[in-house]
Amino acid sequence: MALQRGFTIWFTGLSGAGKTTLSNIVHHRLQSEGVTNVEVLDGDVVRTHLSKGLGFTREDRDTNIRRIGWVAQLLTKNNVPNIVAAISPYRNVRNEVRKMIEHVGGPGSFIEVFADCSVDICEKRDVKGLYAKARSGEIKQFTGVNDPYEPPHNPEVRVDTSQCTPEAGADMIIDHIRSKGFVKL
């Protein structure tokens, strides 16, 4: 597989929906097929380094997503494919980031992937116990419990992670980027 131009695959969805799992599989598949310069920006890791000190107010969440978007824009501009896995709960800031990335990478260079999964299933998958802490009031402003999540209206790829294996979801994403000419065999 040969890289044709930079792009951003932006995973959005609730905590526990499968964003990190899907992004890791897509990352490994791209690398194994010859796209070795692909970078991953995971929301939890970015918060530790790039957005340290930010809280979980709407303003802080938007600032965090804009920072991740700025890095993704730079990578896309320099023909480095990148994968972002971040809850990014608010539609307007995701659309703002889409415009930033498509401004430098061209139309379609922002590929929104909605890891679609109900709160109930995400809660059952939650090994960290975050949903339980949010329900007990221990965690405030937790997306999907006491803070909103705005699903995308028209994502490029929607993966129902409650019905689809991670491998099948990754296939859908790889098929999309191939169909759009971002990578060629």
Q: Cα torsion for 90, 151, 148, 138, to the nearest 10°?
A: -100
Q: What is the mean pLDDT of residues 27-51?
A: 88
Specify burial of residue 60 (Cβ count, 10 A radius: 0-12, 13-18, 19+): middle
Q: How far is CA 55 from CA 21, 63, 142, 145, 185, in A?
A: 25, 10, 11, 17, 43
Q: What is the mean pLDDT of residues 154-174?
A: 97
Report which of 152, 153, 185, 157 is spatially closest to residue 170, judged by C-alpha positions: 157
The whole-number pLDDT of residue 49 equals: 76
Report which of 117, 90, 166, 120 is spatially closest to residue 17, judged by C-alpha positions: 117
Q: Quote the mean pLDDT of the chain.
A: 92
Please give the angle made by the CA atoms of 94, 100 and 102, to the nearest 5 degrees. 100
Q: Name which of 36-50, 108-122, 153-167 the model is least confident about.
A: 36-50
pTM score above 0.85? yes
CATH of region 2-117+150-184, choose from 3.30.930.10, 3.60.15.10, 3.40.50.300, 3.40.190.10? 3.40.50.300
Compute the distance between CA of residue 172 and CA of residue 155 in angstroms, rounded to an integer.
13
Q: Is the pLDDT of residue 8 over 60?
A: yes
* CB-CB neighbours of 52 under 10 Å: 8
Q: How far is CA 74 from CA 82, 88, 140, in A?
A: 10, 19, 33
The whole-number pLDDT of residue 45 equals: 82
Q: Is the pLDDT of residue 97 over 60?
A: yes
Both structure tokens of 41: 């920006």
Sorting pLDDT into bands at 50, 70 and 90, what band is 185? low
Task: Write the Ramachandran bin of 47: left for phi over 0, alpha for psi from -120 to 50, otherwise beta.
Answer: alpha
The whole-number pLDDT of residue 94 equals: 97
The whole-number pLDDT of residue 172 equals: 98
Residue with tokens 């402003």, as numbered in its chain: 141
Give first-to-last CA distance, the chain, whole Å. Answer: 4
pLDDT digits (tens, 9 = 90+) for 61-92: 999 999 999 999 999 999 999 999 999 999 99
The whole-number pLDDT of residue 169 equals: 98
pLDDT digits (tens, 9 = 90+) for 104-151: 999 999 999 999 999 999 999 998 898 998 999 998 889 999 999 999
Q: Is the pLDDT of residue 20 over 70?
A: yes
Phi, psi of 121 (to 5 degrees): -70, -40
Q: Name the residues annotated as catalytic.
A: 88
Q: Name which of 28-37, 105-114, 150-159 the model is least confident about.
A: 28-37
The whole-number pLDDT of residue 48 equals: 79
Compute the distance between CA of residue 77 and CA of residue 6 in angstroms, rounded to an integer.
7
